Amino acid sequence: MISPPLTAQKLLNDLGWLQPGDLSLEEIAFSLDGIIKYSPLTGSSGRILMNKESAIITVDSNISYEAKRNWVTAHEIGHLCLHNGLTPLFSDTEKTLSDWYKNGSQEQQANDFAAELLMPSSLFKQKAGGHRLSISLIQDLAQYFNVSLTTTFLRYRLLGDFPVMIVFIEDGLVKWKQHTPGFPFEYLPYGSKVPVYSVAGDLFYHGTSADTPEKVDAIEWFPEDFQIKFKSQWKLWEQCYRVSENGILSCLWTF
């Protein structure tokens, strides 16, 4: 079975990449006989047209946020490395790019590849290791790797040293969650409504968002968790982002 992270690692090693800035994504694509161009796209953020000899990656020129543009580009390079020969065309929308929960899918594989290409595991661990999770840490890491805060939170969940839970909400309902083994609460049913008295609730119900993490009562998110009877007074940090028109990503972590 193809390992997207190992494929990305091998690519970086073969190119002599050591740190962000060593090579542009355009140069990486060129090394794979791929060309990146920026043009207005309708209905998708990026697409790739490829055959055995070459590839053309098109990234929506309307994307002004460089970190998002980098993610879309790296995702398409993932398709080039992992899926050449399966189909000549991949066209990626906001929906497919946020499908972190579909294990084994080609979109998930391209996401995993992109995460490793932009934030190699060994370097991320070196930068994040031993540091307690905080918004300043996430901001520093996001700036260093030139990726979004959301992408950095998801990477920290895998590689960081302290407990965190990532919750994806769509149309006001919990669609998936990912958490580190040490996170104190686990029971959050799929399909449950976003808590009213939470940062995600403020964004979904009232359209208001906070630029910095806010304290929330753990019982708001985990009223049915077995541990809440012992930790009913616990509070968590919550940071929330809109990742698509009807999708919200909420990051929860302990003090």
Locate the domains of the chain by residue range. Answer: 4-118, 163-253
Residue range 191-220, pLDDT digits in tens: 999 999 999 999 999 988 887 889 999 999
**Which whole number is the average pLDDT over 163-178?**
92
Map residue 71 onto helix, strand or coil.
helix
Q: What is the pLDDT of residue 241?
A: 80
Is the pLDDT at 101 greater than 60, yes or no?
no
Location of structure tokens 């047209």: 49
Q: How far apart are CA 176 and CA 35, in angstroms?
A: 35
CA dist 255 and 235 (Å) reads 8
Q: Where are the alpha helices (DSSP H) in 16-134?
A: 25-31, 66-83, 94-97, 106-118, 121-128
Would the CATH topology of 4-118 be identical to that of 163-253?
no
pLDDT in tens, 30-67: 999 999 999 998 888 898 888 888 899 999 999 998 99
Q: According to the model, what pLDDT value does residue 53 have?
A: 84
Radius of gyration of the chain (CA): 19
Beta strand extents in 195-255 (DSSP E only): 214-217, 235-244, 247-253
Which CATH architecture fits 163-253? 2-Layer Sandwich (3.30)
Q: Quick one: pLDDT at residue 153?
A: 86
CATH for 4-118 is: 1.10.10
User: What pLDDT is stored for residue 104 in this prediction?
Assistant: 54
Rounded Cα distance, 46 and 60, in Å: 6
| pLDDT value at residue 98 | 63
Residue 71, classified by CB atoms within 10 Å of its CB into exposed (0-12), middle (13-18) or buried (19+), is: buried
* Alpha carbon distance 196, 194 (integer Å): 6
Confidence of residue 127 (pLDDT cuts 50, 70, 90): very high
- Local structure of 169: helix, strand or coil: strand
Record the pTM.
Answer: 0.83
Collapsed DSSP state (helix, strand, coil) of residue 108: helix
